[in-house]
Amino acid sequence: MSAEAGTRVVPAIELWEVTREYGERQARVRALDRVSIGFPPGTWTAVMGPSGSGKSTLLHCAAGLDRVTGGRVVLLGNDITLATDSALTALRRSAIGFVFQSFNLLGALTAEQNVALPLRLSGARVSREEVHAVLASVGLGDRVRHRPRELSGGQQQRVAIARAMVTRPAVLFADEPTGALDSKSARGVLHLLRGMVDRAHQTVVMVTHDPVAAAAADAVVFLSDGRLVDQLLRPTAREVADRLASLEA
C-alpha cells in the first residue's frame, strides 16, 4: 500500500471511535470510550494516564490482542475489527512485535533460542549469524548462550527487544518496557526503541507510567476514564509529569 494518500500520511495504526466494555450489567466497565487516534508510521507514541484509564486496553485493541465492543481498528491497512483469529495470528507474526514489562522470555531457552523463536514460529529460516547480530546490536553479543535467570533485568529486557526486532516488525507494541528496570537499564531500552524508529522507520506504541520514558517518544497521548483527553508533541519529562498530575488530581 502507498504510504501517502494525497497529502495525508496513512497511519500505521488507526482507531476509529473505539469502545471496549467489559463485564455484564451493573458490573459493566467502559475501559475505552469512543477513542479515535492514528499512529503515523516511523513515529514513537507514549500512552499515559492514571491507573485504570484504559492504556493497556488501548494497546491490546490496537494490536488485535483484544476485541473491540464498538468502532474499528485498522492495522497496517488491514481492518482487523472482525478479523479471524488465524488472520490476526498471521498479521502478528509477520508485522508486529511485542515487549512487556515482565519480559516474557522462556526460561528453559538461551538468549539466542529466545530471539530465534518468532522466526521459528513463522516458519522462516533461522540464521544463527542474524540472531547473533541482533543480540550484538542490543549489547548482548557475549551473552548468547545465557538463560534468562543468568541475566540481569536490563539484559533480559534487551533479549526481549532483540526478539521483537528479529522479524523487523513494522509496528512494535511495548507495555511498560522500562517498568521493571533501574534508570540506567531503562535508558538503554529507550535508546534501542529510538533506534528502531529513526534507523528502521518502525512504529512504536508504548504504554508507560514514567514521564522520563514518555519524554523519549515523539508524542505523548493521555487517557482519562477511557477517553483520549490530550496530546503533547516532543514534551519534556517535566511537562509530561505536570499533565499527568493534573489528570490524577
Ligand X SMILES: Nc1ncnc2c1ncn2[C@@H]1O[C@H](COP(=O)(O)OP(=O)(O)OP(=O)(O)O)[C@@H](O)[C@H]1O
- Report, in Å, the least distance between residue 25 CB and ligand X: 13
3-class state of residue 213 by DSSP? helix
- Report, in Å, the least distance between residue 210 CB and ligand X: 11
Place of cell 534507523: 199
What DSSP string runs through 74-136? EETTEE-TT--HHHHHHHHHHHEEEEETT----TTS-HHHHHHHHHHHTT----HHHHHHHHH
- Report, in Å, the least distance between residue 29 CB and ligand X: 5
- Report, in Å, the least distance between residue 57 CB and ligand X: 3
- Report, in Å, the least distance between residue 206 CB and ligand X: 12
> Considering beta carbons, is residue 42 or 52 the nearer one to ligand X?
52
> Considering beta carbons, is residue 59 or 144 the nearer one to ligand X?
59
Q: By CB neighbour count within 10 A (0-12 exposed, 13-18 middle, 19+ buried), where does 149 fall?
A: exposed
> Considering beta carbons, is residue 26 or 51 the nearer one to ligand X?
51
- Report, in Å, the least distance between residue 31 CB and ligand X: 3
Strand blocks (E) in the chain: 4-5, 8-9, 13-22, 29-39, 44-48, 70-75, 78-79, 96-100, 171-175, 203-207, 219-224, 227-233
Separation of alpha carbons 236 and 215, rounded Å = 5
Q: Which residues bind to ligand X, rule: CB under 6 A?
A: 22-23, 29, 31, 49, 51-57
> Considering beta carbons, is residue 52 or 71 the nearer one to ligand X?
52
> Considering beta carbons, is residue 31 or 140 the nearer one to ligand X?
31
123 contacts: CB under 8 Å, gap ≥ 6: none
> Considering beta carbons, is residue 65 or 95 the nearer one to ligand X?
65
- Report, in Å, the least distance between residue 248 CB and ligand X: 11
> Considering beta carbons, is residue 144 or 228 the nearer one to ligand X?
228
The side-by-side arrangement of strands in the sheet containing 219-224 is 96-100, 171-175, 203-207, 44-48, 219-224, 227-233
**Segment (H or E) for 195:** helix 183-200
